Structure 1
Amino acid sequence: MFSYCTDPSTLEGFKWLSCYLTTGKHMSLYSSVFVVLALLAITAPTALLFGFTAATAARSRVAPVRWVSWGYTNIVRGVPDIAFFLFFVIALDQGFEWLRHKVKCSDWDQPIRQGVDFVVCDIAKLPLSNAPQWVHETYGFFLAVLTFAIVFGAFASNVIFGAMRAVPRAQMETAEAYGMTRRQAFWRVMVPQMWVFALPGLSNLWMVLIKSTPLLFLLGVEDIVYWARDLGGTKSARFTDYPHGDWRIWYFLALLVFYLAFTRVSEITLDRLMKRLTKGQATAGGEAQRKAAA
């Protein structure tokens, strides 16, 4: 990046460090920070949508709908995250390819399952082998977002369902007494109020989601943990212009600072959001605000 980085062997001190930290691989490390932030920005609302849908389904009067919601939340919550990430992504990817295979290669006369191999026609593969690299990376990122959303959506469902039950039944009865239908009372009375009760649990889920982003490595996405381990490992002059010893401790220390700073910013933001939601509410948080203002 800098003009004096032409011959790294002649550099030392700050110049050597500045050239070392601006190599192509380090740029990939810096860009992977935005990959993690993009994952969180997309996954959080998607998981919230999964959780809200499942929690609403759990309150349905139709028994099969409740059973589906119960099965989703309990099965996903009961499977260790790492096992789910290792198995589900493969199954999801093969499921997409199987559907494309059935549509695009209906004349295929060979079994798809051939021992331990999963074989589909070339045009059914996702992504196509001749697709650009960015397509492969985008597809892997999509699978990561969907997997994270399904996992954390199951936990969010349990939190939101409990928050819905925490809304006083008397308020729902009052709304119905004023002539609201069950659907109107749900959207106009329960949903606006239940977020106050759901936010503490959802805040914890957000923190867990932040700490779970290193699992991107298991999904084939080159995240900050992948690059930190790769760049921090011992490098010899035979393989790189910037040889160094085992510096992984420094790279992982930088990751520690990044995650701690990010979680601290999240705590401050969520605390302000909680104060805003509880203002004027008949909750412990609202009561504390009233006493503080008195």
Structure 2
Amino acid sequence: MFSFCTDPSLLPDWQWMACYLTTGKHMSIYTSVLTVLLLLAITAPAALAFGFAGASAARSRIAPLSWLGKGYIAIVRGVPDIAFFLFFVIALDQMIEYVRHRALCPDWSEPIRQGNDFVVCAAAKMPLGTAPQWVHETYGFFTAVFTFAIVFGAFAANVLFGAMRAVPRAQLETAEAYGMSPRQTFLRVLVPQMWVYALPGLSNLWMVLIKATPLLFLLGVEDIVYWARELGGTKTERFTEYPHGDWRMWYFLALLVFYLLFTRASEVVLGRIMARLTLGQATTGGEAQRKAA
């Protein structure tokens, strides 16, 4: 807040706008941008870890493990994202509270399911009702991160599974002929070479993940879209000292520019990573680089 913001009604247009954009409540939309970036920074490697585990399980020679990996890919990919987000967060939250309830309140005599209500003792609440607000917000955020990682991990697993199968079989047979164990062949030959085949699919998945961040609102996280709608709506002098009309179009236009710039920056970075991975590889990209050189 600037020093000249004492009486907004007397300010010229540019000073009024400067004061309006730096109010305490308006800072929430700037903080929500950091929330979105933090979500992406944590979710991307987590989803990649889930994907690698799922793809490795799917190609396993152990039948139950292979069924588990392929089942994870098929089930999560077959359910609409919104339906999975709404179901999984509630189910995960109730599962955690149920386990805590059984451990912390063994003398509880009332049923947990009471009609449409899920009732546990106060000590089993997650987080506790007496916990500060930041604990509730942090819990909601990491629940959202885990849900995003599960969903996009299934898509990443499908991409990585296809990339593993795209590595020429002759490469693996040569490694086996040199006496490498299946584990060594997997880690030293298959995994390093699969990334060049997986990166196009993972690049698309990264773009989809960026566009899916507004779903945070469904998970109870006050994200950038929530604050754009909240701050852009009509405000009267009764509720704020900075009254304005319906500005949601301008707020959502700013969001459009933000996401376009972010995806463009992602395309540049991913393009450089792809060029680095295909250098010297027996692929179309590597062949194009050799001809250009």
- Corresponding residue number in structure 2 for 1:278: 278
- Corresponding residue number in structure 2 for 1:63: 63
Show CA shifts across 1:181-229 (max 9, x none).
Answer: 0010000000000000000000000000000000000001010000000
CA–CA distance in 2 between the matches of 1:66 and 1:104? 37
- Corresponding residue number in structure 1 for 2:182: 182
| Equivalent residue runs for 1:68-147 within 5 Å | 68-147=68-147
The DSSP-based 3-state class of the residue aligned with 2:25 is: helix
- Corresponding residue number in structure 1 for 2:218: 218
Q: Which moved more, 1:9-18 or 1:224-233?
A: 9-18
CA–CA distance in 2 between the matches of 1:183 and 1:164? 14
Cα drift, residue 61 of structure 1:
1.3
CA–CA distance in 2 between the matches of 1:182 and 1:20? 63
The DSSP-based 3-state class of the residue aligned with 1:276 is: helix
- Corresponding residue number in structure 2 for 1:258: 258
Show CA shifts across 1:113-148 (max 9, x none).
Answer: 100000000010011111011100100001000000
Show CA shifts across 1:7-49 (max 9, x none).
Answer: 1121121110000000112101001100000000000000000
- Corresponding residue number in structure 2 for 1:227: 227
CA–CA distance in 2 between the matches of 1:227 and 1:245? 16
Please give the root-mean-square deviation of Cα atoms over the aligned residues, in Å: 0.6
**Structure-1-length-normalised TM-score:** 0.99
The DSSP-based 3-state class of the residue aligned with 1:24 is: coil
Cα drift, residue 87 of structure 1:
1.2
Q: Number of matched residues?
A: 293
Cα drift, residue 264 of structure 1:
0.0
CA–CA distance in 1 between the matches of 2:83 and 2:57? 26
Cα drift, residue 68 of structure 1:
1.1
Say if 2:212 is the partner of 1:207: no
CA–CA distance in 1 between the matches of 2:174 and 2:212? 42
Which consecutive residues of structure 1, in runs of 5 or more, have no partner in the other structure?
none
CA–CA distance in 1 between the matches of 2:66 and 2:97? 30
- Corresponding residue number in structure 2 for 1:17: 17
Which amino acid is 1:278 matched to? T
CA–CA distance in 1 between the matches of 2:140 and 2:151? 17
| Equivalent residue runs for 1:26-65 within 5 Å | 26-65=26-65
Same amino acid, percent of matched pairs: 77
Which amino acid is 1:59 matched to? R
CA–CA distance in 1 between the matches of 2:96 and 2:24? 34
- Corresponding residue number in structure 2 for 1:191: 191
Which amino acid is 1:19 matched to? C
Runs of 4 or more, structure 1, over 2 Å off, are: none
CA–CA distance in 1 between the matches of 2:91 and 2:132? 24
CA–CA distance in 2 between the matches of 1:67 and 1:125? 35
CA–CA distance in 2 between the matches of 1:261 and 1:73? 31
Which consecutive residues of structure 2, in runs of 5 or more, have no partner in the other structure?
none
Cα drift, residue 256 of structure 1:
0.1
Q: Which moved more, 1:230-239 or 1:102-111?
A: 102-111
**Structure-2-length-normalised TM-score:** 0.99
